[in-house]
Amino acid sequence: MNDAPGPGLTAPSGPLLELRGVTRVFRQGSESLEVLRHVSLAIEAGEMVALVGPSGAGKSTLLQIAGLLERPTGGEVWLEGENCTRIGDVARARLRRRLIGFVYQQHHLLPEFTALENIMLPQMLSDVPKAVAAWRASDLLEAMGLSERAKHRPSKLSGGEQQRVAIARAVANGPTILLADEPTGNLDHATAEKVFAQLLNLVHLTKIGALVATHNLELASRMDRILRLQDGVIVEQRHAAA
């Protein structure tokens, strides 16, 4: 795979993603629940960061805020040096399409389209010419070891293959940040290992930044850094090898 940045991807000098003192409070009547409390973090280019913690710690909420899908109650979200906290919904959607790729525990592939077409679609929705979209989709499938599966629909792919197509789709538009929520959570150990290895290689090869929520501590230990979230607070930050 060509290791040049994807379409629209530049090489900013500072962090690709920053959260500065982010809080998130949910209110229901007179009750309030503080899910995140003054969370600050930064993700650099080419860095894969694990986000670990027990269920209910706030990991998914943090990813939603980092991906501009949800607004924080307090604090700021910065992407490529731009404060995105208070921009309007249309501008937020535009930034999501241009800068952010998402991978979830479920692959969410469109069943009526082939693996190649699933990766082409987000590009074509961003006005990438069909021929260019097909070329880049083929390139990404090769990088994920799926060239021979290009014409298969999701129902003909294994669970690991489906998730690798979903990862390729997430980076098809050349985002600078990849946000992943339990991307290997539905896979058996051997398949999870293969998917993770190719995801890690893709991050380092393309120099995007990745924040990956996971319960798999063995996989987390192989990322560049580990952030531990507990009761809405980052209680530990360390290099994975430490």
- The string of pLDDT tens digits covering residues 158-176 is 988 998 899 899 989 889 9
pTM value?
A: 0.86
79/180 Cα distance (integer angstroms): 17
- Find the length of the chain: 242
For residue 218, the domain's CATH number is 3.40.50.300
Q: What does the pLDDT look like over 101-146, one tens digit per residue?
A: 998 877 789 999 999 999 999 999 889 999 999 999 999 999 888 9
Residue 224 located in a structural domain: yes
Report the DSSP beta bridge partners of residue 119. Answer: none
Segments forming the whole domain that contains residue 105: 44-70+88-239
Residue 169 located in a structural domain: yes
Residue 138 located in a structural domain: yes
State the residue for tokens 């890690």. 200
Residue 132 located in a structural domain: yes
Q: Which residues of 166-199 are buried (b: 16+ CB within 10 A; e: fewer)?
A: bbbbbbbbbbbbbbbbbbbebbeeebbbbbbebb
Say if residue 9's pLDDT is above 50.
no
Residue 25 located in a structural domain: no
Q: Which amino acid is at 18?
A: E
Structural domain tally of the chain? 1
Residue 151 located in a structural domain: yes
Tokens found for residue 97: 């399409």
